[in-house]
Copies of this chain bind each other. A is one copy, B any other.
Amino acid sequence: MPNPPRRSDQLRDVQIQSGYIPSNPASVLYQSGNTIVLCTASLDRSVPAWMAGKGKGWVTAEYNMLPGSTSPRKPRDRGGKIDGRTTEIQRLIGRSLRAIIDLNLLGENSITVDCDVLQADGGTRTAAITGGFIALAKAVEIAIPGSRIGDGPIRDSVAAISVGVVDDIVRLDLDYPLDVAADVDMNVVMTGNGKYVEIQGTGEEATFDDTQLAELLRLARLGIATLTQKQRDALAGT
């Protein structure tokens, strides 16, 4: 029996497997419906040369879709040119993670958060931010034992979700079929305390007005509150 259709204000099912790669506790398999992203945070106990000697750390992110994550197969970025979409997404992930970390408290450590999409069904960039935060928090715990959200370099949690306008209905959490049909597509990145980190809303050969904007932001806030709780549960090991 097929699932009943999702309500317009309903998230997809989210599954979080922390410690997915046996040798790296800072690895998270994040699933939201049929979207699956492997997030691994790698700690390097040094910083790039241009930052050395300041006592500060660095956090960056990379995003990639495995070729088998889509049908038809997505060719690899091997020609020396990363496509523009990939560049934008990984810059967004990096900014989002840096928004909630105090690099001065991280010490001269670098953390790279790799987000590799194993299966893509819409919302991969927001899954990467939400899952990537968990991997980052784990890596910070390794770098600085005892550090917790709000107590150490991690000032707050951060999560992200997409919202959009599809057939004139404002909806939460667009999967691929909804994303293709959407006239307006917006990604919202927000802290656990409910502050905006990033809003990226785009009319796809369409436009939107203030009323729609207000409803988009209301749904995003709702979804992120749920994701924030799931992140805290995953970090608490429940």
Interface residues of A (CB under 8 A from B): 21-24, 27, 34, 36, 38, 40-42, 44, 62, 64, 66-69, 71-73, 76-82, 84, 87-88, 90-91, 95, 98-99, 112, 114, 116, 118-119, 121, 186, 191, 194-210, 213, 217
Q: How far is B68's CA from A137's CA once the two chains are assembled, in angstroms?
A: 16
Query: What's the minimum C-beta distance from A20 to chain B, rounded to whole angstroms?
Result: 8
Q: How far is B74's CA from A24's CA once the two chains are assembled, in angstroms?
A: 14
Q: How far is B116's CA from A191's CA once the two chains are assembled, in angstroms?
A: 33
- Assess whether A66 is in contact with B38, with CB atoms less than 8 Å apart: yes
- Assess whether A213 is in contact with B200, with CB atoms less than 8 Å apart: no
For this complex, 27 residue pairs linking A to B, each with C-beta atoms less than 8 Å apart, are A23-B34, A24-B119, A27-B68, A38-B66, A38-B68, A40-B66, A40-B67, A42-B67, A42-B71, A44-B72, A44-B73, A62-B76, A66-B114, A73-B112, A77-B78, A81-B82, A88-B88, A191-B207, A195-B203, A196-B203, A196-B208, A196-B213, A197-B202, A197-B207, A199-B201, A210-B217, A213-B217
Q: How far is B213's CA from A80's CA once the two chains are assembled, in angstroms?
A: 39
Residues of B within 8 A of A79 (CB): 80
- Assess whether A99 is in contact with B207, with CB atoms less than 8 Å apart: yes
- Assess whether A71 is in contact with B203, with CB atoms less than 8 Å apart: no
19 further A-B contacts with Cβ under 8 Å, apart from A38-B68, A76-B77, A78-B78, are A21-B36, A22-B34, A24-B119, A27-B68, A38-B118, A42-B67, A67-B112, A78-B82, A79-B80, A84-B88, A84-B90, A98-B205, A99-B206, A99-B207, A186-B199, A191-B207, A195-B208, A198-B203, A200-B201
